[in-house]
Amino acid sequence: MKPVLWALATLTVGLLAGLLGLLVLRGAGDLSWGFLLGMPAAAGRAGGIWPVLVSTALLVGGALLAVLPLGVGTALYLAEYAQDGRLVRLIRTLIEALAGVPSILFGLFGFSLFVVRLGWGWSLAAGSLTLALMLLPTVIRTAEEAVLAVPRDLREGALALGATRWETLRRVVIREAAPGILTGAVLALGRALGETAAVLLTAGSDLGLPASPLDPGRSLSVHLYILATEGLSEGRAYASALALVTAVLAVNLTANLALERWRRP
Amino acid sequence: MKESRPKLETVDLHVHYGGTHALKGVSLKVPDRSVTALIGPSGCGKSTFLRALNRMHDLVPAARVRGRILLDGRDVRRLAPEELRRRVGMVFQRPNPFPMSIYENVAFGPSLFGAAGAELDALVQQSLERAALWEEVKGRLHRDARGLSGGQQQRLCIARALAMAPEVLLMDEPCSALDPGATQAVEALVRMLRQEMAIVIVTHSMGQARRVADQVAFFQGGRLVEVGAAAQVLETPARPETAAFLAAE
Amino acid sequence: MTDLWGRLRREAAVRAVLLLCALGASAAVLLIAFFVVAEGWPALGALPGARWDPEEGHFGVQAMVWGSLAVTGGALLLAVPAGVGMALFLTEVAPPSLALVVRPLLQSLAGVPSVVYGFVGLQVLVPAIRRALGGPGFSVLAGACVLAVMILPTIAAIAEDALRAVPVAYREGAVALGATQWQVVRRILLPAARSGLITAVVLGLGRALGETMAVMMVTGNVAAPPGSILDPVRTLTGNIAMEMGYAVGRHREALFASGALLLAMVMALNAAARRVGR
């Protein structure tokens, strides 16, 4: 049994290494500051990806802005105020169900509501709000864990002095839980960067530099998709892929390391 | 006691757990067809010693075992661990039946070595009879073993060990999770089995040691302090530490 | 005293706001389900048909359902043994220091974006299949391989948890009877972890069904049921992603309806997983 399992593990780790190696090998050549900061030309066959980076940043930033208040608020309610009962169980079930919804369906929903019915058209705003919904379960889960991890005696100390629940939360608990909550946000960021289908259906794929939230925009993942499937430029596709993977892995690594440190100091 | 070669013997046995020196130079002879009881305060190394005998420490990466363990005069490290454990069986402190039927529990060991069919059926029945459990379970061999009472589960574990036809049986406080009635049944079993094999039993009860043991070994702080005939050690111990321990019990 | 009243009022207000957050968050999934079903309602009846041909008004998704099942089934065939194997590697074989390194590496496979897997599959796997096995390269096989790599970390993680949950007492009992390591795994650990392992498979299945980009990029674009693993296919998810951009009227409704079908399938699988895990 042992040699088979060793071979399997080597294969799996090798797969990851091979994947990254391939991207570096074929993509590092095109990956330069000029590429990152330059404007695209010939529909992406040449030139840089600056508008794509801007769109991605706005998209993801907007998503985090939308999801954090709602997600952390929900987590606070579940961790601090909710009593075990039918309502709370229902809430948890529904949030768990949300986590299981395939990403394409978020895209359909975002398209139907924001792009069509609200009349925004393909827009960064539509994309951000759709992404925010996708990130909601992750943010709620990590924020709740962070809040629950705050030791009871800290809370009890504040309550014993006559503070209300909210005052205790605001001035003691949240401060303690902040690193954990932030880490959750960073994890969500990583997921948002990698999302393609839902973004394609809501933010569109326009290569222009967006000027307002109602402008369409192309995220890095969508750009990679288009370059790849339309065969526009292999070098630039690899470079885009490398940039994307680097960003996502760096973000995830930071978040996971921080989570480990914070869970087991 | 007879002067023939001991069934099981340790020579200057040391066990280290990570940084702790859990067993310090224990040399003990276990004669065949007898019961040796290991007594001593908590954490004195009796269980550590017992588990060294069937190389259970191999499972723990942080454990290091030095010294010699001889089965019928041969070093046990020359044997494959699976072979050693076939010949030296173990019963644990808390009954640990597998999540399977009564039949499958007893059949498990022999089936590892290829037993099957009618031969296996006979072996299962025989083992359950030797463990004085057959009458109680013969009608429900294929029901889940976890449905049995605590005492029955422990006798099942004994039957499971007996199915391997062991030459030595190691018992780690087998009655500590059982009520007095079940304890009595197990002690009766031990007295019967000693006619066929060597038994080493860790016990917290001096009464139990008095009732079943031929030889008693007193451990303290990882060392073997005193060993001798049961009556002698329990009534008139030679060492002051032993006397102090017995007085406190 | 007014200060106290103010604080108590604020406390009540905050509590209400937080409750609203929670209710809003839980309403999200209901909202999504409602929209998808509502938009697709008129076209639901057209789904069971065998032909998907929007120009001619045919909206049968049979071919896409077969495509999804074929790719997903193939992925499970590859990922379940590999995932359970990795879990066994981490619990039985790897020294703890190595496991500490391998586990996050394995999980980072899950962090790589779907579109990157699709891209690498497109560049490397598809031509390789074409060269080695013939056919267009865009195939069920390519989709299954890519999908397998993507669900491997999920299956491995849940399987590892299930294996670690098996009581140590069972293992000790088996070892004391003379079982070898492999015998302990095969006859004690795996059977005892069975419900957790099934949960892993069902959850992996759910994720595979919902996957879009990577599979879309390597399975070609043929809306017909596959005859062999070398045939190109289209999955339910790929279908939606590909055509949503320009679909109007009935066509659009049909896409939403297929989305509703997908949602129902995934929800059912997740509910089944929860039941098994109990």
How do residues C3-23 score in pLDDT, each as one tens digit? Answer: 788 888 888 889 999 999 999
Helix A124-148 with C2-40: angle, nearest 10 deg: 130
Distance CA A223, CA C241 (A): 15
**What is residue A67's predicted lDDT score, i.e. its pLDDT?**
95
**What is residue B2's predicted lDDT score, i.e. its pLDDT?**
52
Nearest CA in chain C to B85: C178
**Closest CA–CA distance from residue B243 to any residue of chain C (Å):** 34
- Chain B contact for C186, CB < 8 A? no
**Whole-number percent of chain B with pLDDT over 90:** 82
Tell me which residue in A77, A82, A225 faces C115 most closely, judged by beta carbons: A225
- Of the listed ranges A151-165, B43-57, C44-58, C104-118, the least confidently predicted one is A151-165
Residues whose CB is less than 8 angstroms from the CB of residue C273 and which lie 6 or more positions away in sequence, other chains included: C199, C202, C203, C206
Distance CA A115, CA A126 (A): 6
C226-239 b/e (C-beta count within 10 Å ≥ 16 → b): beebbbbbbbbbbb
pLDDT digits (tens, 9 = 90+) for C228-249: 889 999 999 999 998 988 888 8
Distance CA A122, CA A111 (A): 8
**What is residue B108's predicted lDDT score, i.e. its pLDDT?**
93
Q: What is the ipTM of this complex?
A: 0.90
Q: In the predicted model, what is the mean pLDDT of residues C187-210? A: 92
Nearest CA in chain C to A204: C245
**C201 or A152, greater pLDDT:** C201
Contact between C105 and C202 (Cβ < 8 Å): no
pLDDT digits (tens, 9 = 90+) for B52-85: 999 999 888 889 999 999 999 999 989 999 999 9
Tell me the average pLDDT of chain B. Answer: 92
pLDDT digits (tens, 9 = 90+) for A208-256: 888 888 999 999 999 999 999 888 888 889 999 999 999 998 998 888 7
**Whole-number percent of chain C with pLDDT over 70:** 99
**What is residue C249's predicted lDDT score, i.e. its pLDDT?**
87
The torsion angles phi and psi of C113, rounded to 5 degrees, stand at: -60, 145
What's the number of CA atoms in the CB half-sphere (13 Å) around residue B236? 1
Q: Say if the Cβ atoms of A248 and C85 lie within 8 Å.
A: no
Q: Which long-range contacts (CB under 8 A, 24 or more apart) does C272-276 make?
A: C272/C202, C273/C199, C273/C202, C273/C203, C273/C206, C276/C195, C276/C198, C276/C199, C276/C202
pLDDT digits (tens, 9 = 90+) for C83-112: 999 999 999 999 989 998 898 888 888 889
> How do beta strands B74-75 and B20-30 pair?
unpaired
Nearest CA in chain C to A164: C11
Tell me which residue in C102, C263, C267 faces A13 most closely, judged by beta carbons: C102
B2-34 b/e (C-beta count within 10 Å ≥ 16 → b): eeeebbbbbeebbbbeeeeebbeebebbbbbeb
**What is residue C2's predicted lDDT score, i.e. its pLDDT?**
56
CA dihedral (C161, C162, C163, C169) positive or negative: positive
The two tokens of residue C152 are: 């491997």
Q: Say if the Cβ atoms of C173 and B164 lie within 8 Å.
A: no
**What is residue B223's predicted lDDT score, i.e. its pLDDT?**
94
Q: Which of C86, C220, C91, C93 is nearest to C155 (CA)?
A: C86
Distance CA A262, CA C261 (A): 41
pLDDT digits (tens, 9 = 90+) for B147-187: 999 999 999 999 999 999 999 999 999 999 899 988 999 99
**Closest CA–CA distance from residue C275 to any residue of chain B (Å):** 20
**What is residue C45's predicted lDDT score, i.e. its pLDDT?**
85
pLDDT digits (tens, 9 = 90+) for B200-234: 999 999 999 999 999 999 999 999 999 999 999 99
Q: If contacts are CB pairs under 8 Å, which of residues 66-95 in chain C contact chain B?
A: 95
Q: Is A148 in a helix, a strand, or coil?
A: helix
Per-residue pLDDT of chain A (265 residues; tens, 9 = 90+): 889 999 999 999 999 999 999 999 998 888 888 888 888 887 777 788 889 999 999 999 999 999 999 999 999 999 888 888 888 899 999 999 999 899 999 999 999 999 999 999 999 999 999 999 999 999 999 999 899 988 888 888 888 887 787 888 887 888 888 888 988 899 899 989 999 999 999 998 888 888 888 999 999 999 999 999 888 888 889 999 999 999 998 998 888 787 777 666 6
> How do beta strands B168-172 and B198-202 pair?
parallel
**Closest CA–CA distance from residue C265 to any residue of chain A (Å):** 10
Q: Say if the Cβ atoms of C95 and B61 lie within 8 Å.
A: yes
B82 to chain C: which residues are within 8 Å by CB?
178-180
**What is residue A263's predicted lDDT score, i.e. its pLDDT?**
66
Does B102 score more than 90 pLDDT?
A: yes
**What is residue C278's predicted lDDT score, i.e. its pLDDT?**
63
Q: Which of A255, A234, A220 is nearest to A54 (CA)?
A: A220
Q: Hey, of C1, C119, C123, C203, which one would you mutate to test binding to chain A, going by the most A CBs within 10 A of its CB?
A: C119
* pTM: predicted TM-score of the whole model, two decimal places: 0.85
B69-106 b/e (C-beta count within 10 Å ≥ 16 → b): bbbeeeebeebebbebbbbbbbbbbebbbbbbbbbbbb
